[in-house]
């Protein structure tokens, strides 16, 4: 009988442990849900910045999150109330690896056990910009090929001899042997770990190991001639066509990086160059004001510079700008460039802190959601300091005397606001802390 009871007890214990594991795996979704689309690049990378939504699933809790950026900057926020959401905007994510920490707290600031989650967000939106470097060996029978990518890193190098088929080698540093009797050009392009494809580069100097006459020092690194790689597809067929026709049109946008956030006027210029006659040329600026109203402008006043065209304008007003330029030449070659820009000249507004100024209290603790006191058009970072030291939001301060509270907020455009409040902690006679 004792053995039977013991066996039942052990079975129940195992069942409870298994049940506990299942519940623990579901704990996070009980507190909150994180929604984000799947990465659109290779190896878990996003090639376009995602929007992340955090939804609170309970009423009496606060969900907090923190985004740790590659440059050391930290962006924090929170959401309360059942089914309410906080959104992390795409412009937060520019390039590199970001860490998103999410956790749930009780109203008193205590972290709920098992509610912490850390997710990695990897971003690489740019094609490898550095040209490939080619280098002969001493006997001019082997070509050394080097490539770099500062964000996700180089996945591999594609190369081909003249009009032959493309070959692939993994890594950013390879050696290829010149085929016997070959005389012609060596072409190459790079793919990064996110799946972005760089421009095709051609070895300026003719490559060959039979009867070639060349006075250039074999130890010198040759400059690469960049030929625009078709953006619509990565098929070899399109690469072959690139060299059979004249180069596709080029769009050069100066003064704006994609997803740039600034606090000043921006001088925008766009220059179009083409070997073939230009068939169509369009430019659009969609301006979304801080209040949500949208205006669209079609650029028509292009200036002709020989066979090329250019436009210059100054963007002054606050808001988000979506810029798009497209050009098609008479051969049907097409090029398109897009940029996003936010201009925010207004410093963040800090509320409620002045209500503390000049007050007297028995104890102090910071129990505000930052969204309750800060208002700004863009995202921001903040610091709360008490007497010059970072304030612990979960701590109750009871040290008697005069104190200075400082709240410092810096938005993504670099605008800063600092608000101070001076108050006194003093207890009545007979009152204990």
DSSP assignment string, 34-59? EE-PPPSSSTTEESSPPPEEEEE--S
The two domains 2-123 and 250-343 share their CATH topology (first three levels equal): yes
More confident residue, 21 or 249: 249
- The DSSP code for 5 is H
- CATH fold of the domain at 133-244: Immunoglobulin-like (2.60.40)
Would you list the DSSP string of 186-218? EEEEEEETTS-B--EEEESS-EESSS----S-T
Looking at residue 156, its pLDDT comes to 92
Looking at residue 165, its pLDDT comes to 87
- CATH fold of the domain at 250-343: Immunoglobulin-like (2.60.40)
Q: Nearest Cα to 187, choosing from 220, 162, 218?
A: 162
Percent of the chain residues past pLDDT 70, beyond the cut: 82
Looking at residue 207, its pLDDT comes to 62
Does the pLDDT value for residue 239 go beyond 50?
Answer: no
CATH class of 349-425: mainly beta
Per-residue pLDDT reduced to its tens digit, 261-271: 888 999 888 99
Residues in Cβ contact with 365 at an 8 Å cutoff, skipping those fewer than 6 apart:
393, 394, 395, 396, 397
Does the pLDDT value for residue 53 go beyond 90?
Answer: yes
Does the pLDDT value for residue 210 go beyond 50?
Answer: no
- The DSSP code for 93 is -
Name the CA dihedral angle for 240, 241, 243, 245, rounded to a multiple of 10 degrees: 170
User: Domain coordinates of the chain in residue numbers?
Assistant: 2-123, 133-244, 250-343, 349-425
Percent of the chain residues past pLDDT 90, beyond the cut: 35
Mean pLDDT, rounded, for 331-343 = 90
Sign of CA dihedral 39, 44, 48, 51: positive
Q: How confident is the model at residue 204 (pLDDT cuts 50, 70, 90)?
A: low
Does the pLDDT value for residue 133 go beyond 50?
Answer: yes
Question: What pTM was estimated for this model as a whole?
Answer: 0.47
Q: Nearest Cα to 278, choosing from 242, 239, 325, 313?
A: 325
Q: How many CB atoms lie within 10 A of CB 373?
A: 19
Q: How confident is the model at residue 205 (pLDDT cuts 50, 70, 90)?
A: low
Alpha-carbon distances of 166 from 79, 187, 194, 419, rounded to whole Å: 52, 9, 20, 62
Query: H or E segment at 28?
Result: helix 2-31
Could you tell me if 431 and 362 are in contact, meaning their C-beta atoms sit under 8 angstroms apart? yes
Sign of CA dihedral 217, 221, 225, 227: positive
Q: What is d(CA 379, CA 377) in angstroms, rounded to the nearest whole number?
A: 7
Considering the segment(s) 2-123 as one domain, its CATH architecture is Sandwich (2.60)
Mean pLDDT, rounded, for 62-91 = 87
Q: How confident is the model at residue 130 (pLDDT cuts 50, 70, 90)?
A: low
Sign of CA dihedral 267, 273, 277, 282: negative
Name the CA dihedral angle for 196, 198, 199, 205, rounded to a multiple of 10 degrees: -160
């Amino acid at each position: 009988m004792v053995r039977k009871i013991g066996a039942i007890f052990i079975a129940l214990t195992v069942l409870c442990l298994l049940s506990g594991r299942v519940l623990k795996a579901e704990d996070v979704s009980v507190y909150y849900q994180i929604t984000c689309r799947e990465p659109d690049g290779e190896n878990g990378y996003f090639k376009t910045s995602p929007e992340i939504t955090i939804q609170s699933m309970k009423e009496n809790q606060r969900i907090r999150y923190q985004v740790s950026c590659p440059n050391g900057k930290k962006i924090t926020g929170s959401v309360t109330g059942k089914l309410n959401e906080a959104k992390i905007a795409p412009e937060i994510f520019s390039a590199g690896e970001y860490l998103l920490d999410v956790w749930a707290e009780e109203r008193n600031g205590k972290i709920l056990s098992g509610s912490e989650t850390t997710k990695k967000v990897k971003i690489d939106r740019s094609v490898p910009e550095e040209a490939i470097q080619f280098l002969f060996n001493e006997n001019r029978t082997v070509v050394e090929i080097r490539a770099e990518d500062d964000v996700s890193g180089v996945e591999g190098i594609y190369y081909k001899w003249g009009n032959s088929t493309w070959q692939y080698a993994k890594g950013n540093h390879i050696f290829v042997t010149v085929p016997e009797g070959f005389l012609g050009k060596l072409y190459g392009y790079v793919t990064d770990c996110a799946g972005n494809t760089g421009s095709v580069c051609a070895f300026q100097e003719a490559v060959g190991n039979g009867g070639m006459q060349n006075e250039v020092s074999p130890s010198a690194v040759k400059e690469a001639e960049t030929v625009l790689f078709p953006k619509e597809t990565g098929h070899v067929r399109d690469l072959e066509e690139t060299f059979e026709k004249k180069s596709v049109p080029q769009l050069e946008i100066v003064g704006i990086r994609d997803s740039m956030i600034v606090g000043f006027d921006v001088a925008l210029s766009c220059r179009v160059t083409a070997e073939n006659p230009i068939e169509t040329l369009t430019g659009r600026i969609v301006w979304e004001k801080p209040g949500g109203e949208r205006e669209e402008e079609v650029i028509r006043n292009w200036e002709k510079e020989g066979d090329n065209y250019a436009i210059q304008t100054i963007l002054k007003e606050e808001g988000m700008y979506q810029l798009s330029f497209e050009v098609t030449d008479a051969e049907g070659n097409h090029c398109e460039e897009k940029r996003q820009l936010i201009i925010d000249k207004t410093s963040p507004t800090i509320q409620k802190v002045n209500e503390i100024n000049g007050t007297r209290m028995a104890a102090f603790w910071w129990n505000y959601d930052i969204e309750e006191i800060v208002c700004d058009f863009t995202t921001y970072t903040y610091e709360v300091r008490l007497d010059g030291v970072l304030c612990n939001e979960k701590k109750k301060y009871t040290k008697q005397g005069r104190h200075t509270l400082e709240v410092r907020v810096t938005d993504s455009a670099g605008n800063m606001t600092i608000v101070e409040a001076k108050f006194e902690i003093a207890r009545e006679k007979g009152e204990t802390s």
